[in-house]
A and B are shown apart, each in its own frame.
Chain A
Amino acid sequence: MIRRRKLLASFVLGLALITAGGCSKGQTSKVINVAVTPASPPNLFEENGQTKGLDYDLFDGYCKARGCTLNITAYDFQGMLGAVVSRKADVAFSGISITEPRKQVMDFSKPYMDNDWDLVSMKSRNLKLANLDTLKNYTIGFPRGAAYMDFIKTKLEPKGIYSTDKAKLYPSYNEALTDLQNGQVDLVFLDGTVASVYRKKLPIQDTYVFAGIDKLGFAFPKGSALRVDFDKYLDELGPQKRQAIIDKWMK
């Protein structure tokens, strides 16, 4: 009986330690809690258990320059943004678009790259749109929480080009692209960076490109001092070195 009680006590103690310590705020001021979604190559993904990507290289460079370490936690896209808003994370990055609604609840770094938005379809359908007149005839899929919804709502819906209720939402690009291959959705919205990766892996093509309408940034909680320092680092890094990091992942 005593052994059984000791076993139970060890389990409860272990659980308490995990519950209190797991994935919480940093133990020292030098630890930066990072929220990512590892389903956004080349900006952020995992390979052999290692976090990699364009965004990771940029922020890792900052941390090396400032002598801090990263405590990375992976969420789905919405959870990643929620972690920043609720201040559970000090920064979030995984190809996050800077949008007005997001700026109301979080701060963004200076834009680190311009981005296109691609509407892709299966090559076998040979779907090409010269303009947006017939866009309403097709279903569009994209990840839940992505900036495309706001774009449709504020830019396309008022002009009668497309309506939000026709959009299909998925947990991540993975499911949207799987559904595209299954023929359940006609088009999928992809970040230009993400599209450059998936075009090599899947038989997809650009059906329409919204060029130069998007800028990517690192997301911080409102009033974050870290954001100010990271912006300084981006200035120190300079456009050439920053472009070299971007080119390394885009080629």
Chain B
Amino acid sequence: MSFAGILLTLLQGAGYTLLVTLACAATALVVGLGIAIARELGGAWLSTLLSAVVYVLRGVPMLVLLFIIFFGLPGVGLDVPPLLAMMLSLGLISGAYLSEVFRGSLAAINPNEVLAAQSMGFSRLATLRLIKLPQMARFAVPGMVNELTTVLKFSPFAYTVGIPEITKQAMALVATTMRGIEIYAAIGLLYFGIYRLLLAAVRLIEKRYSIPGFAQE
């Protein structure tokens, strides 16, 4: 089998790798944003509770949480499908990290702008929606790209719960050909390709919503 043949075989799993990455990244975005907004709008007790949740999620190994959800929950009658298990483990953990990225981005907003909005009679919700979130989203792009990359690199764990992504194809191929070095090199190339693809998509979105002179790197 040629190197191109190896790449083609591994490509059969690339769709699942992309699916897992996008599904988990979407979950992380919703969770991270939810936590950041709740911290802004909720009271002190909610903020403390969410900080505790983030603290725990950031400390739990991803594989352990995945096994608890996928193999453990059926023991109490909750059968979680593989992709949902990935979203509830990798997505949640990544969401906790993203919430911290958003917290930092919110803190970077000029407090005078918030003060000006309040003096104009903006409600807390309106201040968040119209002043804070649009700026936060732009400040947070580098941190979000980092987290998206982390999600992509953790996606091979999907194989342990039966999702036939790139790593699964590679394991099956190595078992019959024993050409480990070439196959692992091909995996590296494919992941790099997917990373560049995702990065290009993020850059496009960033460019579409960029404001000249604001939050430029």
Contacts and interface: CB of A to CB of B under 8 A. Distances in A.
Co-assembled chains A and B: yes
Interface of A: 15, 18-25, 35, 38-41, 45-47, 49, 73-76, 78-79, 82-83, 85-88, 171-175, 177-178, 198, 201-202
A207 B19 CA distance: 45
Nearest to A75: B162
A105 to B, nearest CB: 11
The winner among A18, A20, A73, A88 for most chain B CB atoms within 10 A is A88
Contact of A79 (B84, B160, B178): B160
A40 B159 contact: no
The 5 closest A-B pairs by CB, nearest first: A39-B175, A46-B172, A73-B162, A86-B74, A174-B174
Contact of B171 (A23, A174, A177): A174
B71 A19 contact: no
Nearest to B9: A49
A149 to B, nearest CB: 18
A65 B40 CA distance: 63
B87 interface: yes
A38 B84 CA distance: 23
Interface stretch (B75-83, B94-102, B185-193): B75-83
B96 to A, nearest CB: 21
Interface of A is mostly: mixed
Contacts, number: 96
A49 B12 CA distance: 9
Contacts of A40: 175
A19 B83 contact: yes
Contacts of B87: 19
Interface of B: 9, 12, 19, 23, 26, 67, 70-72, 74-75, 79, 81-84, 87, 159-164, 168, 171-176, 178, 180
B176 A46 contact: yes
8 contacts: A22-B163, A38-B175, A45-B176, A73-B162, A83-B71, A86-B74, A88-B162, A174-B171
Given A15-B23, A76-B171, A85-B71, A47 B160 contact: no
Given A73-B162, A174-B180, A45 B175 contact: yes
Contacts of A41: 175-176
Contact of A74 (B12, B71, B75, B172): B172
B111 to A, nearest CB: 32
B82 A39 contact: no
Contacts of A78: 160
A202 B178 contact: yes
B83 A22 contact: yes
B187 to A, nearest CB: 13
Given A35-B162, A79-B161, A74 B178 contact: no
Contacts of A75: 159-162
B75 A86 contact: yes
Contacts of B79: 24-25, 88
A79 B180 CA distance: 22
Nearest to A46: B172
A78 B176 CA distance: 20
Contacts of B83: 18-19, 22
